Amino acid sequence: MGITVSGISKRFGAFTALGDIDLEARPGEFLALLGPSGSGKTTLLRIIAGLEFPDTGTVAFDGVDVTNQPITDRGVGFVFQQYALFRHMTVADNVAFGLTVRKRSTRPAKAEIARRVEELLDLVQLKDLGKRYPAQLSGGQRQRVALARALAVEPRILLLDEPFGALDAKVRKDLRRWLRELHDRMGLTSIFVTHDQEEALELADRVVVMDHGVIEQVSAPEAIYNDPASAFVFDFVGESNRLPVSVRGGRAHFGGHAFDVATDGTRDGDATLFFRPHDVEIVGAGAAALPAVVSLARPRGGGTRIEARIEGREAPLELDYTGDAPPRPGDRIGVRPLRARLFPAG
């Protein structure tokens, strides 16, 4: 089932949570809404779910306008950040809830409900825990109960609000992979909210990066990382160094030093230069590069992470060195960004 969001805006008092959002999720797609807190990602998810209503704009499922339909009638599965399990019900009763509240005419028979619950618990690998109460489960188990409960009503759309936020790192990774498989197997269209870029890049077909209530970029994970559409995305996704420079005649100037970068038609004037720690060449001092003094060098991954101070910038640059003879603290080096991006200042 496809989801089309057009022209959505939402204000809470004087605070603009969302400003004119357009977004499309294709049938079967797994979409991540990524952004810092306050970026509006959760509000957007809640509007798609029908938990919140937009001030302007429409939400459509497969072309059918559902903007004014309450969540009760939308038939979406929603997994809450803290799971929102019913504490006074057993796991099985939690999962069965969506079926037992149906109108008598559409409600499955008791035996059928029990069978479906059994099936779902099997699916989320909680077969023997149906009689337990949520308080007796681990965080990862609760998460899966929440998922089984949401899936019980056979939604075509699954919405998840920070689904792994409350779990520890190990459980998080396992659940992630498992959730992706589930999504593919059941032919769902899923959208999940996260502030964890690793999660978004690993799990989603496309990542929607949001900031201050607007969408900065919608792309496949590789493109988000390799081809950020804005300074914000470059900064937010992955590690990066930023340097205020001025562009003149196809070269970037910083503190009296000039170096070659792809200016991509950036007009002359002030700009911000971004480059990733591994996208640099470290050369000897004096070469046509940014002069820097190594302040820290420690092994990391297969190479060495170097922190180097440059004049006119408070925070040191973060650089990766993969060669055999890493520079040592105190060494003078030249830094030459290989793949850098310029974004106009302001």
Classify residue 302 as exposed, middle or buried by CB count within 10 Å of its CB (0-12, 13-18, 19+): exposed
61 makes contact with another protein (CB under 8 A):
no
| Of 6, 28, 133, 283, the one binding another protein by CB under 8 A | 133
Q: How many residues bind another protein (CB under 8 A)?
A: 35
- d(CA 76, CA 113) in angstroms, rounded, equals 19
Which is nearer to another protein, 15 or 86 (by Cβ)?
A: 86
Q: How far is the CB of 218 from another protein (least distance, A)?
A: 25
Distance in Å, CB of 255 to another protein, minimum: 43
The encoded tokens of residue 207 equal: 């990542």
Please, which residue, 149 or 176, has the CB nearer to another protein?
Answer: 149
With respect to another protein, which residue has the nearer C-beta, 41 or 149? Answer: 149
| Residue 151 C-beta: closest distance to another protein, Å | 11
To the nearest whole angstrom, how small is the minimum distance from the Cβ of residue 73 to another protein?
Answer: 8
DSSP 104-166: TTTPPPHHHHHHHHHHHHHHTT-GGGTTS-GGGS-HHHHHHHHHHHHHTT--SEEEEESTTTT
Minimum gap (Å) between residue 87 Cβ and another protein: 5
**Given candidates 35, 40, 77, 221, which one binds another protein under the rule CB under 8 A?**
77
Instruction: Say if strands 303-309 and 290-300 run parallel, antiparallel, or are unpaired.
Output: antiparallel
Look up tokens 């497969």; give the residue: 62
The neighbouring-strand residues paired with 64 are 61
Query: How many degrees, rounded to 5, is the angle at CA 36 between CA 33 and CA 40?
Result: 60
* Residue 254 engages another protein in binding (rule: CB under 8 A): no
Cα separation, 249 vs 267, whole angstroms: 9
Q: Which stretch binds another protein (CB under 8 A): 29-37, 132-140, 212-220, 229-237?
A: 132-140
Examine residue 148 and tell whether it contacts another protein (CB under 8 A).
no
Q: Distance (Å, rounded) from C-alpha 334 to C-alpha 288?
A: 8
Give 133 or 254: the residue with its C-beta nearer to another protein. Answer: 133
Residue 50: CA count within 13 A, CB half-sphere = 19
State the minimum distance, in angstroms, from the CB of residue 19 to another protein. Answer: 17
Minimum CB separation from another protein for residue 302, in Å?
A: 40
Q: Is 325 in the site for another protein (CB under 8 A)?
A: no
CA trace torsion 122, 125, 128, 132 (10° rounding): -110
User: Residues in the site for another protein, rule: CB under 8 A?
Assistant: 49-53, 55, 68, 70-73, 75-78, 80-82, 84-89, 97-98, 101-102, 133-135, 149-150, 152-153
